[in-house]
Amino acid sequence: MSLNENQLLAAFANGDRRAFEHLFKEHYNGACRYVFRILRDEDTCEEIVQSTFVNLWEKREMLKEDINFKSYLFRAAYNTALNYIKHEKVVNKYVNNKQDSIEISIQSYVSHQPDFELQKRIDDAIEGLPPQCQKVFRMSREEGLKYHEIAEELHISKKTVEVHMGKALKLLRTQLQDYLVFFLPVVVLL
C-alpha cells in the first residue's frame, strides 16, 4: 500500500481493513516497547496495545485525517496503561482486604475458642485445594512471599498468582463458612 499517512488515516476512518492492518504492522512493536517501559510486563503490554488498536478501530470515524497517528496511538496506549495500573491497585487492595478479613476471622475464632477441629478443617480445606492454588496459597501464607516473588519463583505472571489466590480464598471461604459466619461481625468492628 503506497499511501501517505493522511490517506491511510482517511481509509482507516472509512473502515478500510487493509489500512488498519498497515497501521497496525507499522506501529504495533513500537507501541509495545513504549508501554513496556511503563509496565515492565510483556504480556500485559501486548494486551494493552491490542486493546488500544481495537478501541481505535471502534472509534475510527472520529479520527481526524491530519493527526499524527503514532503520537495519537502512543497517547491512547499510555492512558490505557495508566488505567490498567489504577485498576490493578484497586484489585490488589480488594484482594488484600478480603484476605485480611478471612485471616482475622480465623484468628478471632481460634483465639476465642481453641478448637482442634477447626485447625483440622482448615488443614483439610487447604489440602483440598487444586495443586497450583494450594502451592500459591502456601507460598503466600506460610512462607510470607509477595505476589511478585511467587510469580518469579513459579515462572508465572503476577496476574496468574492473583487468580490462584482468589480461587483459593473463595474455596476456603466456602468450606469454612460455618466457622467464619459467627465471627464476621467481629471483623467489621475491628
Q: For position 156, which CATH number holds?
A: 1.10.10.10
pLDDT in the model for residue 116? 67
The last residue of one of the domains, among 94, 120, 141, is 94
Q: How far is CA 30 from CA 6, 25, 65, 73, in A?
A: 20, 10, 21, 10
Give tens-digit pLDDT for 89-144: 887 776 666 665 565 555 555 455 545 676 778 888 888 889 999 999 889 888 88
- What would the mean pLDDT of 164-187 be, rounded to a whole number? 70
Q: Are 151 and 161 in contact (CB under 8 A)?
A: yes
What is the per-residue pLDDT for 102?
61
pLDDT averaged over every residue in the chain: 80
Q: Is residue 86 part of a domain?
A: yes
Question: How confident is the model over 35-40, as a mean pLDDT?
Answer: 90
Average pLDDT of the segment spanning 55-84 = 87
State yes or no: pLDDT of 189 exceeds 60: no
Q: For residues 94 and 118, give the distance between their C-alpha atoms in angstroms, rounded to a whole number.
A: 26
Count of domains for the chain: 2
One domain, residues 12 and 70: yes
Amino acid making up residue 92: N
54 falls within a domain: yes
Q: Given this model, what pLDDT does residue 186 score?
A: 40
Find the CATH number of the domain harbouring 57. Answer: 1.10.1740.10
133 within domain boundaries: yes
**Residue 149 belongs to domain spanning:** 129-189
Same domain, residue pair 20 and 87: yes
- With a cut of 90, say whether residue 183 has pLDDT above it: no
* Shared domain check, 88 and 5: yes
- Whole-number percent of the chain with pLDDT over 70: 78
| Per-residue pLDDT, 106 | 55
Inform me whether the pLDDT recorded for 190 exceeds 80.
Answer: no
Q: What percent of the chain has pLDDT over 90?
A: 22
- Domain end point (choices 73, 94, 115): 94
Q: Write down the pTM of the prediction.
A: 0.47
pLDDT of residue 70 exceeding 60, the answer is: yes
C-alpha cell at 83: 488505567
The CB density around residue 147, as the number of other CB atoms within 10 Å, is 21
